[in-house]
Structure 1
């Protein structure tokens, strides 16, 4: 799928409304940019870089809806954005010069699942993909300069979604969502009666799955995750069962023999509406943020003991990232830290009125 749309660049004159912006934002805006897939009011899809001063650095048109983006630390001002599943493109974007550096397409029998990781130790990009002729999940390794495929490994399940490096820098944790998809039937879930999600750990030195852990309820799809500095994995779930079912939607794992649901009242699980989006660990403050866009909520949890702390309203709040502190984006165009317990010290909220941020948010080194 070739990129034929022209690039769109928008600077500080782009429409936005900023409020409660202080010296913290001014300082941070100089060192990093936020990156997110997004859409405009006409339904055109983009990936954009923007800062805490409320400036859109630029936005570049995508051939279809994007999902997550990752920083490329060896290339300041660059990021890689992945198509929403079942996606057929990943793009390296240079936000400094507003250009697509490289378009990566999966092999003919595969599609992307919207996520990837840069593994600096071996200078490669790892992507979660679907070998759709069999429905087998794959982790694909590509050179980070040429993007030539170097290896493909079985993910240990079906529908690998978000992946992350463990602190040993040699193990990959994989959220195998358990749901089969096919590019000829976009967004259709093809095996809800037989889905079998798991959380798997893969040795990147051998490509072998070391361990995998299942939930008793097979309709709890494990989708997104983050990892603490100590190696504790927090994962968010999306439930594919009956709307009336009461199920936990966030789990943890840290070497135990089973996956552990986080602790919350039944009323919160019901309010979360069977759906989580982004997970973000804040090691400095021993917090975990979990976004629930269908409930218009950002929830905070204790990293130390897995207990629920607080919930905060944010309409269509979905993207989460950690720089100096946690930030959330929303499908209504907001970027904010107002959900933090200490946000009153540096309360921040900006709205980009012409853009709707997608489900994930990352930050990259500015130049």
Structure 2
């Protein structure tokens, strides 16, 4: 069984220490004391500014850190407590901080000719940060390598063996980098415009974390060439779950979720037709609750969240959540946020961004 990458509230408070707790308001202290889990997510405040919020599983904001622009995905190291917020494509900044104390955050920028795709992951020991990036003039997906022991100095890069890499993760033993190559060409000169929708090349790649060599590449079937592979997570058995966004005709009913493991072919989950329609051909985030054997997905376009049994692939629950955004494992099921400011049962005067990370 794979270990959880998250820590509970008691561990968070112990690691934070008295210095951090002394900076919190009485209301934040009470919220932190009563929660089981702590999360982080990007937000847009009511005044239009952007920040990272530390939040309880009931949606009570504990603390905030200002960002220069909108963030997208997050990465957390259980080994070091460091958390990273990556800029939304085609942004070029990433902000690294320790949410348990008030130390100065570290800001890094992608090198010239690159931009971030909004996602990344730490090595299991926390010594390396991997970031999905775009070599936009070369039209190549890349993984940037950053030394977390030296203020996140960039020390190299690997190819992703595809274009448009989005989300990525690292195997439990740290040997494999797992990348969802969305297959969509973009260039910052054209903003967020998708330049090759008629010739997409979506794939999922396994890459040797030590050498950057390609271990396996799974190209989607020709009939689903317009199905962009976007987000990934690992279950308790080491299987890789992936979620997709469809760029084809809106009336089509493509498979949106699947899984595979090293040495196995891709296997799509057969969601009920009504569920696929409800998701509006778009999964914005995926998360695995390893302790309960559940997979959760959200769709901001469909305004829905869906819970799947990781063992059988059967849909266990569906919920209507307008502008559903991030999803992350909770003590029971999942914590889900929305662009409208909802985080489970709590509404805040902020817009939660697309992803949540449990810290």
Q: Into which bin does the TM-score normalised by the smaller protein fall?
A: 0.7 to 0.9
Q: Kindly report which structure 2 residues correspond to 1:274-353, keeping only aligned pairs within 5 A, or say none.
A: 274-325=281-332, 326-336=334-344, 349-352=345-348
Partner of 2:9: none
Partner of 1:65: 70
Alignment coverage as a number of residue pairs? 332
For residues 100 and 188 of structure 1, the distance between their equivalents in structure 2, rounded to whole angstroms, comes to 35
- Gapped regions of structure 2 (runs ≥ 5): 1-22
Tell me how far 1:276 sits from its aligned partner: 0.5
CA contact (8 A) 2:257 2:268 kept: yes
Q: Residues 318-349 of structure 1: CA distance to partner in whole angstroms, max 9, x if unpaired?
A: 2111243321111122222xxxxxxxxxxxx2
Partner of 2:50: 45
Give TM-score, length-normalised by structure 2: 0.86
CA contact (8 A) 1:37 1:65 kept: yes
For residues 253 and 37 of structure 1, the distance between their equivalents in structure 2, rounded to whole angstroms, comes to 30
Is 2:145 aligned against 1:141? Answer: yes
For residues 134 and 67 of structure 1, the distance between their equivalents in structure 2, rounded to whole angstroms, comes to 24
For residues 53 and 286 of structure 1, the distance between their equivalents in structure 2, rounded to whole angstroms, comes to 22
Q: Kindly report which structure 2 residues correspond to 1:90-105, keeping only aligned pairs within 5 A, or say none.
A: 90-96=94-100, 100-105=104-109
Q: Secondary structure at the match of 1:358?
A: strand
Partner of 1:89: 93
Q: Secondary structure at the match of 2:340?
A: coil
Tell me how far 1:169 sits from its aligned partner: 2.2
Name which of 348, 356, 360 aligns with 2:355.
Answer: 360
Poorly superposed stretches of 4+, deviation over 4 Å: 9-14, 96-100
Q: Secondary structure at the match of 1:120?
A: coil
Q: Residues 92-147 of structure 1: CA distance to partner in whole angstroms, max 9, x if unpaired?
A: 13445556521110110100000111113361101110111111000111101321
Give TM-score, length-normalised by structure 1: 0.84
Tell me how far 1:28 sits from its aligned partner: 3.6
- Gapped regions of structure 1 (runs ≥ 5): 1-8, 15-20, 337-348
RMSD of aligned alpha carbons: 2.3
Comparing both structures, which one devotes a greater share of its residues to helix? 2
More off after superposition, 80-89 vs 239-248: 239-248
CA contact (8 A) 2:78 2:126 kept: no
Partner of 1:339: none
Tell me how far 1:12 sits from its aligned partner: 6.0
